[in-house]
Amino acid sequence: MEKSLFSHLTGTAALASRILYKLDELVGYCDGISKRELQRAMNANKHPLWPAAWQMVTERGCVQVTPGSNRQQCIRLVRVPDDLQWRCELTSMYKPPRRRRRRPQTEWFREHLPEFLRRDGYEERAEEIESDLFGDPLSW
């Protein structure tokens, strides 16, 4: 999903947009989160461009950084600039369900299907299938 949301951006801009997207997803515009929690949620140590993207986000005024307790930095999302906006396409998020492939019924299954239907309480359906398979029992 995220690849299609950020495919129009490259490099640092794409990571900056991901940071803003994750902030919006976690707390939105009204609440705050610590910088460390955001880094953990995004696995920041796996992104070599994280410092440059974070600098881009803070310099543009997209986030508000305030000091918290124990040297923490509390972050609040302020705005998302147009050039860092992620795509909001329903087609990219919605995937139609895949059709399940069904194996063809075996001869054994077809022979035992009426007893399975009777066991599950479908007596009329079992009689229909038996009459189709073996013919009408009254005509024997």
Tell me what pLDDT residue 87 has. Answer: 77
Ramachandran bin of 11, using left for φ above 0, alpha for ψ from -120 to 50, beta for the remaining angles: left
Contacts by 115-123, CB closer than 8 A, 24 or more apart: none
What residue segments make up the domains of the chain, in order of their start?
2-93, 107-139
**Would you say the C-alpha torsion 32, 36, 41, 43 has a positive or negative sign?**
positive
Tell me what pLDDT residue 6 has. Answer: 79
3-state secondary structure of 60: coil
Tell me what pLDDT residue 138 has. Answer: 53
117-129 residue pLDDT tens: 999 999 999 888 8
Tell me what pLDDT residue 1 has. Answer: 43
Which residue ranges in the chain fall short of pLDDT 70? 1-3, 88-96, 134-140
CATH 1.10.10.580 fits 2-93, yes or no: yes
Can you tell me the distance from the alpha carbon of 17 to that of 20, in angstroms, rounded to the nearest whole number?
Answer: 5
